[in-house]
Every structure is written in C-alpha cells, then in structure tokens.
Structure 1
Amino acid sequence: MTIELDGQSLTAADVISVARDQRPEVRLSDVSRTHLTRTRDYVESHWLKADAPPIYGFNTGVGKLKDSAIPLDQIGLFQEMLINSHSSGVGEPLPQEVVRATLLLRANAFARGCSGVRPELVERLLAMLNGDVLPFIPEAGSVGASGDLAPLAHMAGALVGHPQAEVFYGGQRLPARDALEAVGISPVEFKLAAKEGLALINGSTVTLAIAILAAHDARQLLANAEIALALSLEAMRGELAAFDPRIHEARPHHGQGTTADIVRRLTTGSQRCTEAARQVALPDEGRLPAQTIAARVQDAYSLRCAPQVHGPVREALAYVDQTLAREINSATDNPLIFEGEQGYEVLSGGNFHGQYLAQAMDLLAMVVTDLGSISERRTYRLLDPTMSYGLPSNLVAQLPGLNTGYSIAHCSMAAL
C-alpha cells in the first residue's frame, strides 16, 4: 500500500494508518512535484536577486525583524540560525506516533504547493518517515499562536542533520546524523534554501497530529461506551422504552437518534431486558422469590438519558472531524505563494494560527469528560445491589471478603 501526497486528498484514516497501524509507504505525487518545481524556479529567478523587493521570510528577517534585509549571501546562514534559535522545547519526547503523523502532515502541507519549498525538502521529510527516523521533539514549548515553532524546529534540526539533533531509530535514541547515514539518506547535512527554515517551523502541525490521534481515540471511546451501555442494560435488566425511535423523532437530534438506534440493535432479542426477567429474584436483591414487585416504569438517568448525553458527544466529534479534515489538507505557513496571470504573487497571512485546532480540542475534552462522567455513574450502579436490582455487591459472585471486586477500579474512574 502506498499513499501519494498532493495536499488535497489526505484523510484522517490515512494519518492513523501511517502513525500507528499499517505504516504504508508515502510518496509525493508527480503532479505536486511538478507544481513545487515550477513555483520554486520562479522564486529563485525573480525573488532571490539583488533588486528583488522585500519578501517576508525569503529575504527579510521574521517577527519584529521583518524590516531587516537579509543579504543574498547570508540567506543560507539565516535558515540555520532560525532553526537554532527556535529549538527551545523542553520536556519528555512526544510519542513516536505523534512524530510520524507530524512528518506526514508537514509534507502534505508543502505538497499543496503554496509554501515555495523545493521538492527535495518534501522528499527528505518522507525519506525520514519511510525510514522510521523519528526526530526527538520535546512535548512542551508551543503556544500555538505562531504555529508550533519550537517543536517543529526540533523536527527541522533532525532533518538538516544538525550536530546536536537527536532521533529515535531502531529502538534507540541517537544523533540524527548517525541515523540518516544508517538509512542512506544523503546528504547527511542538508542545506536549506530561502524560506525553507520558516516553512518548516511555521504551522500548527504538531497540534494537528495530536488532535487527529485524540479524535480517533475519542470515537473508539464512544463506540465502547455504547457497547458498555447495552451490556449494562442487559446486566440490570433495564427498560428499553427510552430507546424507542418515536421518542427521538420527537426531538430529532441526529446524535441521540443514532445512539438509540445502536442500543436497539445491540439489544435486539434480549431475554434480560424484559418484564419476565425483572420478575426473577436474584440472591442479593433482598426479596423473596415469590414476592412480586411493581413494574420498573423507567430507569435512572445514566441509562435512560444515555442517548441525550452520548448524542451531543457524537455531534461534537462530527464538528471536530470536519475541522481536522480541512486542516489536514491546508497550507499553514506564512507567507504563501499563489500563481496568477502575471506570474506568482506572495501574500502574508495567518494560516499558522492554531485557534481552530485549540477550539476543537477544547470541545473534544469537554464532551469526552461528559461521556466519562455518565459511564462512571453506570459503573457505580452496577456495583451497588440496591441500584443494580440484585447484582452481587462490587460484582463479587464468589468469596466475598476475600475478593474485593471492582470497587477500586470504579474508584479510579471517579478520580479521573
């Protein structure tokens, strides 16, 4: 399996596959390579000459130094110093799955063709990814407003073969130059051209990598929570009326309707979620076998209102997925280059800013917390015979006292 990058068609599923699972080979599409070459040829023939106008990041400094001209013979040195000055991250290394996703996403952003970098730069990113040469990127150092400057500078340091840059390769942490040489990526010391240093570090790509992995895991959590919900209904001989489609058609939110439909399908044919099953007296229920009880009528909120809680989680995840899908195929550095009728034009903007991702992840954190909260309440109910309609205390069927059961597991859930 091979994934071709064109800056327009990469999916979250592709990112997960590259970061975690199948690890397919990734290559730059021929169309993108041609586009990058054509754009870079124009940049070097028109903008990298003595009489060129000031162009941010190409022949000027960055940030507050945007009005400082960079002489042509010092542009290469400027790229090196830019990477050096921004390699200021601290903390433990990011997980390798995040680093793999970051390499992929940065290459794909360049493949869109708006950054003005050489195809050789993209090919080197992909050679590191395909060779599993993963830069040491400290987990802390980015505030997102200017993109992930410090984390991406550490990535760039490994890419160029900086003497102090480190990578993970073959289960070891070692100097980047040693790993590049071992894999056969040459030259070991890679010289950046004008604007390439800025292009490498100016974008919220690390944040995006983390967000894609978190959103994928959140969807798995939601799926597991709904399976656990159905099993909890089975265990406690719950009422299924709360999942009747007519209730959810009367309040037609897509998310809650979907949850109700999933629970109905999972409990189809259940012999426990019935009135007959509820009439059976369990040993810990505190009633005699011959004693009848009133109909259950309705269950507690953690069971009955699950569609109304899980539903907003599902809809929030849809918003998050939509935001991430757009970000995956976005050009996120500054400035950007666009082809027009009179050649190319360079425009300064703010696509590097991480607010879309920050807002999406704030929402993700909030709704996953809600999902965890209602799941914890269902777990507590399972452990208490007065709430579970007779299940053994702490779900200890044998050797109570010797066997503590699941009370401490639930305690951890409550703590989280």
Structure 2
Amino acid sequence: MPDQHQLILDGESLTLEPLIKAALSKGEDFNIAVTKEKKTVDKILKSRKYVEDKLKNGTKHIYGVNTGFGANKHKYIYGATPEEKADNMKRLTYNLLISHCTGMGDKYPREVVRAAIILRINALAKGHSGVRMELLNLLAGLLNNDITPVVPSQGSVGASGDLAPLSHMAVVLALNPDKPEDIVFGDVEIPDNDTYRVCSAQDVRGLINPVVLEAKEGLALNNGTCFITALASFALSKTINAAKAAHISSVLSLEALLGTKDSLNPGIHNLRRHPGQARVASNMLQMLEGSNLIFNPDGGSDYELYTLDTQLQLIEKELGLINEIKPVKEPIQDNYSLRCIPQVMGACLDTINYVKRVLETEMNSVNDNPLLFPEWVEEGSNARACGVAAISGGNFHGEPVALAADFLKIAAAEIASLAERRTFLLTDPALNRRLPAFLSKPDNNREEGMHSGLMILQYTAASVVSENKVLCHPASVDSIPTSANVEDHVSMGTSGAKRAIEVAENVNKVIALELLCAAQALHLRLRQGFKYLYKPEERKRLIDKEETDTLFEKLELLIPEEMKPGKSSRIMVDILDKILVKENGLEFPITNDLYIAPHIKIVTDSLLSGRLVREFEAEFGEIELN
C-alpha cells in the first residue's frame, strides 16, 4: 500500500492533516497501524508488565486498577484468593464500560468517531497507560475493517475526559469476563454498498474480535480527551478551508468594487508586527498580481478607478443619462470590510495557528489517569522522590482544548462577519461604485424593477452570521460538579467543540454567498468596460470571434486591456463557471431572476467538501496561513 494511504501511530508525530484524511477515509483505502519501532513497543510492554507485576505482588492501592472510580476511589477491590481478586478486577473494568454508556442524542458522524479512535490509539502508544499491545491493534482493526462504533453526541462534560462517548466507543471490544460467549454490547456502522448501515456489534462480532479486558484497560480506554480533540480538529480543518476561501472571496470583492491597494502596503503591517496580518496582506497582493481593476497610488500599469469613472460619465452624458460629470479627485478610502481585511483576517489566522498548536500538542499527549512510569523504578531517582511509579493526576481534563475550541469559534465567526459586510457592499447601489442595485441586470432594462437579483443572498448571510453569535457563547466558562463533588470542576469542552463545527460550517456558507455575489459583480463590472470602452463596430467584431475553452479566455477577447482582473479572480470565476454552468447546466452570471437555490447549494457544497479550495490551489498554488 502506498505511503499516502498509511498512517503509522507512534504517540509522537500525529498532525492535523493526516488525522482528518484518515478519519474521512474508508477502511480499505487507508491502513492505520501502531508503529513497530522497538522504543515505542518496549514502552507499551513495560507499562503493561508494571501493572501485572504490581497486582501479582499484592501491591497497595492503585486508583482504577484495584480501586473503584470517582467518588468510589477509596473502595478497594478484594478477593478471597489471588485468582478471585484478578477476576474481580476484570469485572471492575467491564462494569466501568457498560455502566458509563450513558450517552444520548444523535450519533456522532462516522469521521468524528474514527478520529477519536485514532487519537486513543496514539495516546496509548505513548506507553504510560498499562494496556496490552493487543488492545491497540484491536482499535486499529476497527478502523481498517471500516467498523465504526455508534456513539451518541450528548453526555460528556469534558472531564474526566469524554467518559460516556469513549465508553460507547470501547464497549464493542469488551467481552463479559464471566460469560465470554455472552452478547457484545453496542452498535456499529458498517459499509453497505456506497453507504453505511447500523447494526449491533454482536452481528459483526467475528470482524471485531472482542476480548476480555484486563485490569486498568477499561479506564485507559474511556478516560481521555479524544472526542473533544476530534471535534475541535474537524472544526479547525473546516475553519482553515473557510479562511482560504475568504482570501479568494475578498480579492474577488475588492476587484469588483474597484478597491485600492493602499491597505495592503507591507509598510503598514511591518509596523504592527502581528504575523497573521502581514501574511494576509502578502497573500492578497500575490492574488491581485496582474489586476488592472485595483487602484495603485504609486501609479504604474494598474488601472485607476478615476479613469474608468470619468469615462463612464462621459459616455452617459453623451447619451443624456446625466447632466454633469463629477470626476473623483481624491483617492478613495475603502470601507473597513475591504480596508481592514489584513487586520481582521490576520487576527483570525493567528488564532487558527494557536489552536493548531494546542490540538497537535494534545494529539500527541497522554490524557488518561492514572499514569504509569515503570522507567522510574529502573532509574530509581524519580521513584524515590515520588514514592510510586503510578501517579494520579488530571491529564484527562479538557481545559486546554476547551479554551482553544471557544477561541476558534470566535475567530471563525469574525471571518463570516467580514464576508457578510462585503456581500452587503456588493449589493447596495449606494456603496457598490456604480454596479446595478442587488447585482440585477436583466436583458430588458425596462424590467429592472421586476427583478430582485441577488438581494436576498445578503439576508441569508446576515441570518447565518447572527446564528453564529449564539453558537459562539464560550462553553468553557461553565462548570457543573460531578461524582459526588469529587470532580468539582469540568471543562464542558465537548459541547464547545461541537458548536465550533457548526460555526465553521456556517462560515463556509457565508463565504459561498459572497463568492456568488462577487463573481456576479465582477462579470457586471467587466461588462461595463466592454460596453463603454469599445466602439460598437469593435464590440461586434470581438463578439463574432471564435469561442475558446474557458470563460476567461472568452472574456479576454472582450475585456479592454484597462480592465483585467488578477489571476486569482480569473481562476475562481472559471471554477464557478465549471461547476455551475458546464457540470450542472445553470445560468451564470445571472441576468433575469431565476430559481437560485441550486446555485447556492452547489457552491456551498463544493466549498464545504473542500473542492473549491483544492481546485483553486491546484491552479494558483497553496494559500499560506502561517
């Protein structure tokens, strides 16, 4: 199997992109395995041997190994004989999982559960959890056989980790130690032709190969931050996609609105020293290369708004449409939603990069309890200082990821807020610099009042942006004590991470609406140039020329040299032309009013799936965010 279809987990090197790719894949398309490197394998084996040796030697209490859980931490697990005691600890592990399967609500998407399993394997591979190597391979087997436990989406308070969700995930692997032949609990999703169907774990028992879990293994499986981190990782991935798309839509809007380059000058951003701000400005300058639609205060070949506006007014005066010419004499200062794109988007990029660092740190961390340090026994020093090599701590607490997820929501929502304001600029005739009201330009000018154009796309964007304001309330500011007040502070990070996905998806939707409006506006702007800057006989000659392959190759025959958009906008308009017109037979750009729901759905789905950004970057190059 080629390397790009493998993910080797070693507890040290997992990053966002491979996690998302593996989680979204089908079992037969992607092989997931624990590393066979001796150092990692030895640590896993030593931590398990430590548990077995301590139990064999009648060790003192080790939380969760030979004691109860939570408020039952002081209750020791007894047995009349060593064998009975060992059996009781297996029952303890089994009881932990079946009693903690308390989740409610809709099931998590398949890819979220797969990501959580990958994260659990990676944490256990660190070799501090006291599980058998067999258990890691069983988890990997679920992924490679495309068997996904059904996990309800409600029930986690984000400390002690994601107890209920992880119990639902793990219970499908657990046999009743008293009756191994008994039913395996839980449901799973399995492939069914081109889709998936839910069945009981018992129905596919032979593919799962469940086992009797040993002491400590149940707690190692259900005590951790894997669902918080999985959810936040998908939210981050969707936000990254939105941030890249927002670069594209911003440039489209800036060109369609004949904005200026002043606000992108590197001198401005070097003085403030926020890296995201400088990155956004640099990206936009690259994307605007070749554009003659943007005013350049330093002169050069860039087309000046003043020249176009004056020429349009001259023609309109000759036609009797206006009485006097009002040439623009002073440089235009763009609205904040254009002028402050680097400052606002840059702050969002800095947040995205912070969240990415937090999540990738958590991906490669141990987050269960207690943690085992068998090497301390060998080395001696730390063991003498601490007294034991099994330490109870709080690595299961989801606070680092909870805070990051809440911060991510706020930054993502700001990307959408800015995009909605640009959509408003594009559609408002008082602000869009001589574009038609609501970007409506019907075939018959006498029918202009009969057509709404793209008016209501801005309403929808405003609605979604407002919805984000509710979703962005930080979950991490809340805490409700659990387990008889022993667990008296929790992160509520899972709730925040779930909302972060909703916010990120909403942001992509708002940007899809801006892309439609900005592309429509750019077409109308170029049509202005075609109408006014060529004489009638020249226009007819150009129209009669032989058609070419892409939309912008056609437009290049028609657009005056003074009115050429940059490479970025040309690429995106061609992509929209492909997915709307060529693939789906829709009209775009739009002239008379039509049923517009399919346009919105196709562009939104293409953006949410990552297709628009992938195809754009394949042509333009990667949009750097750090």
Band the TM-score falls in, shorter-chain normalisation: over 0.9
* Contact in 2 for aligned 1:271/1:277 (Cα 8 Å): no
Correspondence for 1:43 among 51, 55, 71: 51
Change (3 A) 1:288 1:307: farther
- Of residues 275-284 and 154-163 in structure 1, the stretch that sits farther from structure 2 once superposed is 275-284
Structure 2 equivalent of residue 262 of structure 1: 283
TM-fit CA distance, 1:390: 1.4
Structure 1 equivalent of residue 453 of structure 2: 405
For each residue in 1:291-334, what CA deviation from the matched residue of structure 2 results, as whole angstroms up to 9, or x when unmatched?
A: 52333421111100111101110111111011011000001000
User: Alignment identity in percent?
Assistant: 37
Q: Does 1:197 align with 2:197?
A: no
- Distance in 2, Cα, partners of 1:292 & 1:221: 38
Report SS of the residue matched to 2:367.
coil
- Distance in 2, Cα, partners of 1:114 & 1:363: 30
TM-fit CA distance, 1:164: 3.5
Report SS of the residue matched to 1:168.
strand
Q: Does 1:367 align with 2:416?
A: no
Report SS of the residue matched to 2:345.
helix
Report SS of the residue matched to 2:282.
helix
For each residue in 1:116-162, what CA deviation from the matched residue of structure 2 results, as whole angstroms up to 9, or x when unmatched?
A: 11111110100001111001000110010211000001001122266
- Distance in 2, Cα, partners of 1:193 & 1:123: 15
- Of residues 46-55 and 125-134 in structure 1, the stretch that sits farther from structure 2 once superposed is 46-55
TM-fit CA distance, 1:288: 6.8
- Of residues 94-103 and 68-77 in structure 1, the stretch that sits farther from structure 2 once superposed is 68-77
Report SS of the residue matched to 1:169.
strand
Q: Which one has a bigger Cα radius of gyration? A: 2
TM-fit CA distance, 1:369: 1.1
Correspondence for 1:65 among 45, 61, 72: 72
TM-fit CA distance, 1:357: 0.6
For structure 2, the 5+ residue unaligned runs are 79-84, 176-182, 296-303, 379-387, 465-626
Change (3 A) 1:5 1:287: farther
* Contact in 2 for aligned 1:237/1:277 (Cα 8 Å): no
* Contact in 1 for aligned 2:174/2:184 (Cα 8 Å): no
Structure 1 equivalent of residue 32 of structure 2: 26
Report SS of the residue matched to 2:312.
coil
- Distance in 1, Cα, partners of 2:20 & 2:323: 54
Change (3 A) 1:173 1:305: same
**Count of residues paired in the alignment:** 410
For each residue in 1:46-73, what CA deviation from the matched residue of structure 2 results, as whole angstroms up to 9, or x when unmatched?
A: 2213621100111111111111111323
Structure 1 equivalent of residue 112 of structure 2: 98
Q: Does 1:173 align with 2:193?
A: no
Structure 1 equivalent of residue 171 of structure 2: 157
Amino acid at match of 2:161: G
For structure 1, the 5+ residue unaligned runs are none
Which stretches of structure 1, 4 residues or longer, exceed 6 Å deviation after superposition?
none
Structure 1 equivalent of residue 385 of structure 2: none
Q: How high is the TM-score relative to the length of structure 2?
A: 0.63
Q: Does 1:54 align with 2:72?
A: no
- Distance in 1, Cα, partners of 2:211 & 2:449: 66
Once the two structures are superposed, the pairs formed by residues 317-336 of structure 1 within 5 Å of their partners are: 317-336=352-371
For each residue in 1:363-388, what CA deviation from the matched residue of structure 2 results, as whole angstroms up to 9, or x when unmatched?
A: 00111111111111001100012111
Once the two structures are superposed, the pairs formed by residues 12-411 of structure 1 within 5 Å of their partners are: 12-21=16-25, 24-31=30-37, 32-44=40-52, 46-49=53-56, 51-71=58-78, 72=85, 73-160=87-174, 163-170=184-191, 171-181=196-206, 184-186=207-209, 189-274=210-295, 275=304, 276-281=307-312, 291-343=326-378, 345-398=389-442, 400=448, 403-411=451-459
- Distance in 1, Cα, partners of 2:245 & 2:355: 19
